Amino acid sequence: MIRRLSSHAIPLLRYSRALPTITSKIRYSVQHTNEQTAPQTMEPSELREYNLIEYDPEKVLVSGYTEKSFIIGTLRLFGSVLLFPKNYFNWTIQTPQDITTESLKLVEYMNPTPEVLIIGTGANYYRLPEDIRKHLLENGIAVEEMRTVAAISTFNILNQEDRNVACALISIEPIDSRTLTPSENPALFQEIQEAVNTLSDRNYVRQVQRQSRQ
């Protein structure tokens, strides 16, 4: 079942308590960075873990989610995703224990570098190992871990406020989007087909209604 976030419920006040902590970490990272990180170049092969989905001139907004997917704009993306203010990417990570500094390299290479990285760790809270947190902080990126549902709302709030924020969302139920096939995931593809049929039925009804009014 798709859970949609009402536009009237964004920002959600119950998640706003996380904002003071996040903003204080942003200030901390800026004040305690001793040197500017030199511009870095990346070989195309280093981007093999990421798949560019879409560039949107408007702000990225997560409007809904399921256990295995996220609704961004008019698209439903399966598996984990990396979000930036105007871009979003498929992410191959399935569990928070899979996260490494290498899997977050894209965040470091973004220009400008995000000041804060929100990590949605799935159904349960998980704190990243200290070496990963230290590495990101040394590059001027403060890290805030929280459960994925809370991370969605926090990212939406900060992005609406024009903060330089990134968000790594792990799907609530682990899934590898690269291996999605009807034979391996029949129930999921049946759900997709039913959603397509429902949309088609609604469009047909609208078309009949318009014709009847003419």
pLDDT tens digits along 35-67: 444 444 444 444 444 444 444 457 899 989 989
**In the chain, what percentage of residues exceed pLDDT 90?**
43
Confidence of residue 99 (pLDDT cuts 50, 70, 90): very high
By the 8 A CB rule, do 27 and 70 touch?
no
Q: Is residue 59 classed as helix, strand or coil in its secondary structure?
A: coil
Instruction: Spell out the domain ranges in the chain.
Output: 3-180, 182-214
Q: Is residue 102 classed as helix, strand or coil in its secondary structure?
A: helix
Selected residue with higher pLDDT from 157 and 204: 157
Question: By C-alpha distance, which of 126, 70, 123 is closest to 96?
Answer: 126
Q: What are phi and psi of 151, to 5 degrees?
A: -65, -35
The pLDDT tens digits for 115-158 are 999 999 999 999 999 999 999 999 999 999 999 999 999 999 99
What distance in Å separates the CA atoms of residue 63 and residue 70, rounded to the nearest whole number? 8
Listed in sequence order, the DSSP H helices in the chain are 18-31, 105-109, 130-138, 148-160, 186-213
Q: What is the pLDDT of residue 15?
A: 39
CATH says 3-180 is which class?
Answer: alpha beta
